[in-house]
Protein backbone atom coordinates (compact mmCIF):
# COMPACT_ATOMS: atom_id res chain seq x y z
CA UNK A 1 0.00 0.00 0.00
CA UNK A 2 1.35 3.42 -0.97
CA UNK A 3 0.87 6.19 1.60
CA UNK A 4 1.99 9.80 1.92
CA UNK A 5 2.04 11.00 5.51
CA UNK A 6 3.57 14.45 5.00
CA UNK A 7 1.59 17.02 3.06
CA UNK A 8 0.54 20.65 3.65
CA UNK A 9 -2.65 22.51 2.80
CA UNK A 10 -0.98 25.86 2.07
CA UNK A 11 2.53 26.99 1.10
CA UNK A 12 4.71 28.61 3.75
CA UNK A 13 4.34 32.08 2.25
CA UNK A 14 0.54 31.91 2.36
CA UNK A 15 -1.47 32.35 5.54
CA UNK A 16 -3.36 29.20 6.47
CA UNK A 17 -7.03 29.96 6.91
CA UNK A 18 -10.63 28.71 6.64
CA UNK A 19 -10.57 28.41 2.85
CA UNK A 20 -7.90 25.70 3.18
CA UNK A 21 -10.18 23.67 5.42
CA UNK A 22 -13.29 23.43 3.26
CA UNK A 23 -14.63 20.14 1.98
CA UNK A 24 -13.91 21.29 -1.58
CA UNK A 25 -10.26 22.11 -0.88
CA UNK A 26 -9.57 18.84 0.91
CA UNK A 27 -11.38 16.90 -1.83
CA UNK A 28 -8.81 18.22 -4.32
CA UNK A 29 -6.06 16.56 -2.28
CA UNK A 30 -8.05 13.34 -2.00
CA UNK A 31 -8.59 13.25 -5.77
CA UNK A 32 -4.89 13.89 -6.44
CA UNK A 33 -3.96 11.08 -4.06
CA UNK A 34 -6.33 8.68 -5.81
CA UNK A 35 -4.96 9.63 -9.24
CA UNK A 36 -1.44 8.82 -8.03
CA UNK A 37 -2.37 5.52 -6.44
CA UNK A 38 -1.92 6.79 -2.88
CA UNK A 39 -4.13 4.83 -0.51
CA UNK A 40 -3.80 7.23 2.44
CA UNK A 41 -2.80 10.89 2.52
CA UNK A 42 -2.10 12.52 5.86
CA UNK A 43 -2.41 16.29 5.86
CA UNK A 44 0.14 17.58 8.34
CA UNK A 45 0.20 21.33 8.82
CA UNK A 46 2.87 22.90 11.02
CA UNK A 47 1.82 23.40 14.61
CA UNK A 48 3.05 26.99 14.64
CA UNK A 49 0.39 27.96 12.09
CA UNK A 50 -2.37 27.69 14.68
CA UNK A 51 -3.45 30.33 17.15
CA UNK A 52 -3.51 27.74 19.94
CA UNK A 53 0.29 27.43 19.57
CA UNK A 54 0.99 31.15 19.96
CA UNK A 55 3.44 31.84 22.76
CA UNK A 56 4.89 28.35 23.02
CA UNK A 57 7.96 29.84 21.35
CA UNK A 58 9.03 33.46 21.52
CA UNK A 59 10.47 33.35 17.99
CA UNK A 60 8.94 36.05 15.80
CA UNK A 61 8.24 33.70 12.88
CA UNK A 62 6.48 31.20 15.13
CA UNK A 63 4.07 33.81 16.47
CA UNK A 64 3.48 35.83 13.31
CA UNK A 65 2.23 32.68 11.55
CA UNK A 66 -0.15 31.58 14.35
CA UNK A 67 -3.51 32.45 12.77
CA UNK A 68 -5.55 29.33 11.94
CA UNK A 69 -7.85 27.51 14.34
CA UNK A 70 -6.50 24.09 15.26
CA UNK A 71 -9.85 22.60 16.25
CA UNK A 72 -11.43 23.65 12.95
CA UNK A 73 -8.48 22.11 11.11
CA UNK A 74 -8.75 18.77 12.91
CA UNK A 75 -12.52 18.70 12.48
CA UNK A 76 -12.30 19.29 8.73
CA UNK A 77 -9.80 16.47 8.25
CA UNK A 78 -11.71 14.09 10.50
CA UNK A 79 -14.90 14.81 8.56
CA UNK A 80 -13.18 13.98 5.27
CA UNK A 81 -11.66 10.82 6.74
CA UNK A 82 -14.93 9.64 8.26
CA UNK A 83 -16.71 10.28 4.96
CA UNK A 84 -14.49 7.65 3.36
CA UNK A 85 -11.92 9.88 1.66
CA UNK A 86 -8.31 8.63 1.82
CA UNK A 87 -7.45 11.47 4.21
CA UNK A 88 -5.78 11.18 7.61
CA UNK A 89 -5.65 13.93 10.21
CA UNK A 90 -2.08 14.88 11.01
CA UNK A 91 0.15 17.65 12.27
CA UNK A 92 3.83 18.47 11.91
CA UNK A 93 4.63 19.35 15.50
CA UNK A 94 7.84 21.35 15.26
CA UNK A 95 10.31 20.47 18.02
CA UNK A 96 11.38 23.36 20.25
CA UNK A 97 13.72 21.61 22.67
CA UNK A 98 13.23 19.56 25.81
CA UNK A 99 11.99 22.54 27.84
CA UNK A 100 8.88 22.86 25.66
CA UNK A 101 7.79 19.22 25.63
CA UNK A 102 4.78 19.64 27.89
CA UNK A 103 3.46 22.66 25.97
CA UNK A 104 3.73 20.71 22.72
CA UNK A 105 2.13 17.66 24.30
CA UNK A 106 -0.79 19.75 25.49
CA UNK A 107 -1.27 21.15 21.98
CA UNK A 108 -2.00 17.73 20.50
CA UNK A 109 -3.52 16.00 23.53
CA UNK A 110 -7.16 14.92 23.23
CA UNK A 111 -7.33 15.98 19.58
CA UNK A 112 -8.33 13.49 16.90
CA UNK A 113 -4.99 13.08 15.15
CA UNK A 114 -4.07 9.94 13.23
CA UNK A 115 -0.40 10.88 13.05
CA UNK A 116 1.94 13.38 14.70
CA UNK A 117 5.09 14.14 12.72
CA UNK A 118 8.20 15.39 14.46
CA UNK A 119 10.60 17.83 12.83
CA UNK A 120 13.46 20.13 13.76
CA UNK A 121 13.29 23.52 12.04
CA UNK A 122 14.18 25.77 14.98
CA UNK A 123 17.76 25.40 16.22
CA UNK A 124 19.61 27.54 18.78
CA UNK A 125 18.32 31.08 18.15
CA UNK A 126 17.66 30.59 14.44
CA UNK A 127 16.17 28.21 11.93
CA UNK A 128 17.72 25.46 9.83
CA UNK A 129 15.88 26.16 6.60
CA UNK A 130 14.52 29.72 6.70
CA UNK A 131 16.69 32.26 4.86
CA UNK A 132 15.48 35.14 7.04
CA UNK A 133 16.47 33.49 10.33
CA UNK A 134 19.53 31.37 9.45
CA UNK A 135 21.26 29.49 12.25
CA UNK A 136 24.16 29.18 9.79
CA UNK A 137 25.25 32.76 10.50
CA UNK A 138 26.00 32.09 14.16
CA UNK A 139 27.24 28.49 13.92
CA UNK A 140 29.66 26.61 11.70
CA UNK A 141 28.39 23.96 9.30
CA UNK A 142 29.64 21.15 11.51
CA UNK A 143 28.07 22.75 14.59
CA UNK A 144 24.70 23.06 12.86
CA UNK A 145 24.67 19.40 11.83
CA UNK A 146 25.78 18.30 15.31
CA UNK A 147 23.16 20.44 17.05
CA UNK A 148 20.53 19.31 14.58
CA UNK A 149 21.09 15.64 15.25
CA UNK A 150 21.28 16.22 19.00
CA UNK A 151 17.82 17.79 18.83
CA UNK A 152 16.51 15.14 16.44
CA UNK A 153 17.54 12.45 18.93
CA UNK A 154 15.96 14.36 21.81
CA UNK A 155 12.74 14.81 19.85
CA UNK A 156 12.59 11.11 19.01
CA UNK A 157 13.15 10.18 22.67
CA UNK A 158 10.42 12.55 23.90
CA UNK A 159 7.53 10.24 23.01
CA UNK A 160 5.66 13.04 21.26
CA UNK A 161 5.97 11.69 17.75
CA UNK A 162 4.89 8.80 15.56
CA UNK A 163 7.59 9.46 12.97
CA UNK A 164 10.41 11.96 12.36
CA UNK A 165 10.24 13.98 9.15
CA UNK A 166 13.04 14.99 6.74
CA UNK A 167 16.05 13.98 8.89
CA UNK A 168 18.41 15.44 6.26
CA UNK A 169 16.94 18.96 6.43
CA UNK A 170 20.26 20.81 7.04
CA UNK A 171 21.38 20.02 3.51
CA UNK A 172 18.62 22.29 2.15
CA UNK A 173 21.15 25.07 1.46
CA UNK A 174 23.78 22.66 0.15
CA UNK A 175 25.88 22.55 3.33
CA UNK A 176 27.52 19.23 4.21
CA UNK A 177 29.35 18.32 7.43
CA UNK A 178 33.04 17.41 7.52
CA UNK A 179 32.94 15.39 10.74
CA UNK A 180 33.52 11.68 10.48
CA UNK A 181 31.44 10.48 13.40
CA UNK A 182 28.76 11.59 15.81
CA UNK A 183 29.21 9.88 19.14
CA UNK A 184 26.76 8.98 21.84
CA UNK A 185 24.96 11.92 23.40
CA UNK A 186 23.62 12.33 26.95
CA UNK A 187 20.02 11.26 27.26
CA UNK A 188 20.14 8.57 24.59
CA UNK A 189 17.41 8.57 21.98
CA UNK A 190 19.45 6.73 19.36
CA UNK A 191 17.28 3.63 19.23
CA UNK A 192 14.03 5.61 19.17
CA UNK A 193 15.40 7.84 16.41
CA UNK A 194 16.39 4.79 14.39
CA UNK A 195 12.89 3.38 14.73
CA UNK A 196 11.15 6.61 13.73
CA UNK A 197 13.49 7.24 10.82
CA UNK A 198 12.85 3.71 9.63
CA UNK A 199 9.17 4.56 9.29
CA UNK A 200 9.93 7.79 7.45
CA UNK A 201 12.79 7.06 5.07
CA UNK A 202 11.96 4.63 2.30
CA UNK A 203 14.64 4.56 -0.38
CA UNK A 204 17.04 7.47 -0.74
CA UNK A 205 14.65 10.38 -1.11
CA UNK A 206 15.10 13.11 1.50
CA UNK A 207 13.96 16.67 2.07
CA UNK A 208 15.80 17.95 -0.99
CA UNK A 209 17.29 16.24 -4.07
CA UNK A 210 20.38 14.18 -3.43
CA UNK A 211 21.34 11.20 -1.27
CA UNK A 212 19.48 10.70 1.98
CA UNK A 213 20.89 10.94 5.48
CA UNK A 214 24.68 10.41 5.48
CA UNK A 215 25.66 7.04 6.93
CA UNK A 216 27.97 8.64 9.47
CA UNK A 217 25.09 10.66 10.93
CA UNK A 218 22.94 7.60 11.60
CA UNK A 219 25.76 5.41 12.89
CA UNK A 220 24.86 4.21 16.37
CA UNK A 221 27.35 3.32 19.06
CA UNK A 222 27.25 -0.34 20.03
CA UNK A 223 26.62 0.87 23.57
CA UNK A 224 23.26 2.15 22.34
CA UNK A 225 22.41 -1.08 20.50
CA UNK A 226 24.39 -3.88 22.18
CA UNK A 227 22.39 -6.69 20.58
CA UNK A 228 20.98 -4.94 17.52
CA UNK A 229 22.15 -4.07 14.08
CA UNK A 230 23.42 -0.61 13.35
CA UNK A 231 20.78 1.48 11.61
CA UNK A 232 20.82 1.60 7.85
CA UNK A 233 21.09 4.93 6.02
CA UNK A 234 18.28 3.84 3.70
pLDDT digits over 176-209, tens only? 888 655 545 545 555 565 565 545 444 333 444 4
**Does 216 share its domain with 141?**
yes
In this prediction, residues 15-34 reach a mean pLDDT of 97
Task: Say what the pLDDT of residue 188 is.
Answer: 53
Q: Is residue 100 part of a domain?
A: no
62 within domain boundaries: yes
Per the structure, how many domains does the chain have?
Answer: 2
82 is in which domain, residue-wise?
A: 1-91+108-116
For position 177, what pLDDT does the model report? 87
Say whether both 81 and 130 belong to one domain: no
Same domain, 144 and 59: no
- Predicted TM-score (pTM) of this structure: 0.81
Averaged confidence pLDDT in the chain: 83
Q: Are residues 66 and 173 in the same domain?
A: no
Show the 3-state SS of the chain.
CCEECCCCCCCCCCCCCHHHHCHHHHHHHHHHHHHCCCCEEEEEEEHHHEHHHCCCCCCHHHHHCCCECHHHHHHHHHHHHHCCCCEEEEEEEECCCHHHHHHHHHHHCCCCCCEEEEECCEECCEECCCCCCEHHHCCCHHHHHHHHHHHHHHHHHCCCCCEECCCCHHHHHCCCCCCCCCCCCCCCCHHHHHHHHHHHCCCCCCCCCCCCCCHHHHCCCCCCCCCCCCCCCC
Tens-digit pLDDT profile for residues 54-74: 999 999 999 999 999 999 999
Amino acid sequence: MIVDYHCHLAPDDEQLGPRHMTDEWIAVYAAAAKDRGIAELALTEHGHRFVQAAGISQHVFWNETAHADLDAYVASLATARDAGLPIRAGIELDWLGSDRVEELRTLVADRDFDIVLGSVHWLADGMVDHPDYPVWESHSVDEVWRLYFDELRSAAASGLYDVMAHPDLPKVFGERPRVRRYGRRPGGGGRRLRDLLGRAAQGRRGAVPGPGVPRRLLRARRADHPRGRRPSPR
